[in-house]
Amino acid sequence: MRQHATLETRPDKHVRPLAEMVREWRRRAAPIVGQQQASWVASLAGRNDLPLLRADDLTEAMCADVARLAVVAVSGSRATFTRSNVFAEAIRQVHGVRFAAPHERVRVVERVTDLALGQSLLLSLPELTPTPETLRRPDGTSRLRPRNADRCTTRELLDAETRLLDAGRSVDGPSVAPAVAKAVCALPIEHVPHPLSVEQAAAVCSVTTSGRVLDVLVGAAGTGKSTTVRAVRAVWEAEHGPGSVLGLAPSAAAAEVLADAVGVPTENTAKWLTETTRKPGRLAELAALRQRLDRASPSLRTRTLLRRARTVAADIARWGLRPGQLVIVDEASMAGTPRPRRPHRAGASGRGEDPAGRGLGPAVPGHRRGGLPAPRDRPGRPRHTDRRAPLPPRLGTQRLPAPA
């Protein structure tokens, strides 16, 4: 709807000849570079004072470090990747290096790509049957398989997905009593103009009463995910009290939308993760402030220290999880796999007799760059498949039907 409105209301494009635009650009540049613009551009050449490198100037250790950075960057946004993905990231990593000739840069990028793939795990199956020579390329690869199409991942990604899958199987998290969930779903939900459908009520009850540490809500656009999540919030707060639901979203705009749709405090995921890493420093600062205030006499400086201590304590409470809290990660499939795992680890780190919290990740089916892995069958072993495939219904995933 928003795209349709944009197309209907944006002004018409006026096509101008390239020569006319070049004359306009020259006129605008004249006050800055003068009338001799060609000579000014020529004067920019040869201004590099750094030595021009060749491929042999970079040691194997240097290339291995660049390869490690490339793998970290690629795996941060993709659950699986190909040689082309790593090659493009390697180009970005050496972008600021000046080489004596273009082919020297290509040689370095190829070396970095080979080392990066050597640090990764191959997921694609090898050729199971011999390929006739007539169907092989000059380099020996099969013409029946796309060139450089083998998919790879990393051990860290597999470990992160394993932890997420284990969290989806764990049922020792906080929950809501079934009677409470059914009673709240039967009542009008605040800011929802219509009763919940049977499918929405079933999804809400399943999520809030399951006790799973991690749940995934899957639904296409228009199926009522926002209404369902708002009902989840109402059910959860009925059992655990106001303020027991926190929202996270991949961007500031998405966080604002989730906050308006669900009515919970919502933060940018990256911002929240950054602030949580500062908790040890805040705790140390708060301890030092309390020690100074313990024997302080009333004064202007004491009031300043007291205000600072209250600010630090408020920051600790804002950027942390407490027992019984539910974290809603909107568009979880748009985040890299390690990112949804970190809020889970933040909740699990304080788990004792009372688990620290639960996570709910609303997602949509389709192409998956990373993010939460689709919950596999609970009794079986998780299988790592191409994330581009649509997500079939599985145990532990609440799926809303498509609109009629």
Of 317, 347, 377, the residue that ends a domain is 317
- Percent of the chain having pLDDT more than 90? 40
Mean pLDDT across the stretch 317-332?
87
Element (H, E) at 158: helix 155-169
Element (H, E) at 215: strand 214-218
User: Is residue 4 a part of any domain in this protein?
Assistant: no
Structure tokens at 29: 């540049």
- pLDDT at residue 387 in the model: 33
DSSP conformation letters of 115-134: HHHHTSEE-SPPP-S---GG
For the beta sheet containing 325-329, the strands, ordered from the edge strand earlier in sequence to the opposite edge, are: 266-268, 245-249, 325-329, 357-363, 214-218, 397-399
Q: Do 210 and 169 fall into the same domain?
A: yes
Confidence of residue 45 (pLDDT cuts 50, 70, 90): confident
Mean pLDDT across the stretch 52-58?
91
Confidence of residue 184 (pLDDT cuts 50, 70, 90): very high
Q: Do 231 and 201 fall into the same domain?
A: yes
Q: Do 242 and 347 fall into the same domain?
A: yes
User: Is residue 45 a part of any domain in this protein?
Assistant: no
User: Is residue 184 a part of any domain in this protein?
Assistant: yes
β pairing state of 152-153 and 121-122: antiparallel
Q: Tell me, what amino acid is at 124?
A: S
Q: Do 361 and 390 fall into the same domain?
A: yes
Structure tokens at 32: 């800055």
- pLDDT at residue 365 in the model: 32
User: Is residue 180 a part of any domain in this protein?
Assistant: yes
pLDDT at 211 over 50: yes
Q: Do 114 and 251 fall into the same domain?
A: no
Number of domains in the chain: 3
- pLDDT at residue 253 in the model: 87
Of 153, 169, 194, the residue that ends a domain is 153
- pLDDT at residue 83 in the model: 94
User: Is residue 112 a part of any domain in this protein?
Assistant: yes
Mean pLDDT across the stretch 239-258?
90
Q: Do 375 and 226 fall into the same domain?
A: yes
Confidence of residue 193 (pLDDT cuts 50, 70, 90): confident
Candidates 210, 199, 260, 256; CA nearest to 230 is 260
User: Is residue 231 a part of any domain in this protein?
Assistant: yes
Range of the domain at 306: 279-317
User: Is residue 1 a part of any domain in this protein?
Assistant: no
pLDDT at 373 over 80: no
Query: Of the ranges 87-91, 219-223, 260-264, 282-286, which one carries the lowest mean pLDDT score?
Result: 219-223
- pLDDT at residue 368 in the model: 31
Distances in Å between the Cα of 202 and the Cα atoms of 178, 199, 231, 257 are 11, 5, 11, 24
Mean pLDDT of the chain: 81
Q: Do 63 and 183 fall into the same domain?
A: no
Higher-confidence position of 303 and 43:
303
